[in-house]
Amino acid sequence: MTDTKKSGAKKSGAKKIAIYPGSFDPLTNGHVDVIERALEIFDEVIVAVLHNPSKKSLFTSEERVEMIKDSMNGFKPVQVDTFDGLLVEYARMKNAVAVIRGMRAISDFENEFQMALMNRKLNKDVQSVFLMTGLRWIFTSSSIIKEAAQFGGDISDMVPTPVKLKLMEKFPKLNC
Ligand code: PNS
């Protein structure tokens, strides 16, 4: 039996926690779809917003956390948090057994594959789990939504309402 299998068996009776990490700048309906799918497998999902002040973002990490919390409406199995440093260290601290990543198209694969292998090298006890977003969200990304929103494009069916309201504050041209 490998070490990974041993540790999996050891944890089998415990609550299964997964981390869903990302920039979430901002949260989209595609992300929400992934969270819902993850909850079919795991008991608890921690949505972990990367706090990286050197990375340019539209929303601060506090704003991103607030939007996610508002969108999740206090739904118990979903926790929202920020993290910095190594993701696998954060996962270890939270006793998580898996890291969730959403997969939209083949173009996502190479980067995700590289990241998953590095994460496994750094912590073999945390598994990477890739979930396909619903077909409806295949073209949805935070960047494309920001791009459309800044020029007034209607993105109202691509983000939860609390995110739409925050985008409207940032981009006065946006009138959904
Ligand atoms: O939404 P994103 O920007 O694609 O999320 C990327 C994220 C936050 C998952 C990734 O950058 C990350 O895990 N950063 C923390 C540092 C780390 O552990 N990197 C992976 C090993 S190199």
3-state secondary structure 86-120: CHHHHHHHCCCCEEEEEECCHHHHHHHHHHHHHHH
Predicted confidence band at 175 (pLDDT cuts at 50, 70, 90)?
Answer: confident
For residue 102 and ligand 1, the question of a CB distance below 6 A is answered with no
* First and final C-alpha spacing in the chain: 56
Q: How far apart are CA 168 and CA 153, in angstroms?
A: 11
- When the pLDDT of each residue in the chain is averaged and rounded to a whole number, the result is 92
Q: Determine the average pLDDT of the residues in 9-16.
A: 69
For residue 23 and ligand 1, the question of a CB distance below 6 A is answered with yes
Q: Which of 50, 120, 145 to mutate to test the pocket of ligand 1 (most atoms within 8 A of CB)?
A: 50
Q: Please give the model's pTM, rounded to 2 decimal places.
A: 0.92
Strand partners, 128: 99
Q: Take atom 20 of ligand 1 and give the residue whose Cα is closest.
A: 115
Distance from the CA of 130 to the center of ligand 1, in angstroms? 14
Q: Which of 23, 58, 94, 117 to mutate to test the pocket of ligand 1 (most atoms within 8 A of CB)?
A: 23
Which residues are tagged catalytic? 31, 55, 104, 142
Over the stretch 91-127, which tens digit does the pLDDT of each residue have? 999 999 999 999 988 889 999 999 999 999 999 999 9
Q: How far apart are CA 72 and CA 52, in angstroms?
A: 23
Query: What is the percentage of the chain residues whose pLDDT exceeds 90?
Result: 82
Over the stretch 49-97, which tens digit does the pLDDT of each residue have? 999 989 899 999 999 999 999 999 888 899 999 999 999 999 999 999 9
Q: How far apart are CA 129 and CA 110, in angstroms?
A: 15
